[in-house]
Structures are given as C-alpha cells and as structure tokens.
A = this chain, B = another copy of it.
Amino acid sequence: MDIMDSKSLGEAIRMARKRLKVTQKDLALASGTGLRFIIELERGKPTCHLGKALGILQALGLRLKVVES
C-alpha cells in the first residue's frame, strides 16, 4: 500500500491491526504508547510524532520502503 499522507498511513495501520485481530487498546499496551495516540494515528492526525508512528508499524510486524513516485 502506498503512503502519501498521514491519512493513508493511518488506514494501513488500522487494516493491519484488524488483520491481526488486535484492539487499539492492546496495540497501545504492546507498543508502549497510550490509547489516545493509536486512535489519533489511525485517524490520520498529521501532527502525530514520527518515531511513535514508526514504532507502531514495528509492533504490527510492518516496515516502510522508500520508493520513487
């Protein structure tokens, strides 16, 4: 899936989470963040902290690749 903005990243994260049948609460616990951050990240809030977002991807067993547009 292509990530062009925070909305699409949030969607990808939500999809992955649901695929793994994990609740937002569990994901927060597993990744050492708060529930509030997960909710906002999944809804595409552009001011979420980059490092935290990348940490969530790791917790979901995902990573990002940079490609030319």
Binding site for B on A (CB under 8 A): 1-6, 9, 12, 16, 41, 45-55, 57-58, 61-69
Contacts and interface: CB of A to CB of B under 8 A. Distances in A.
Nearest to A58: B4
A51 B2 contact: no
Contact of A50 (B12, B50, B65, B66): B50
A61 B67 CA distance: 9
A69 B65 contact: no
Which of A5, A50, A63, A64 has most chain B Cβ within 10 Å?
A50
Contacts of A4: 54, 58, 63
Contacts of A5: 51, 54-55
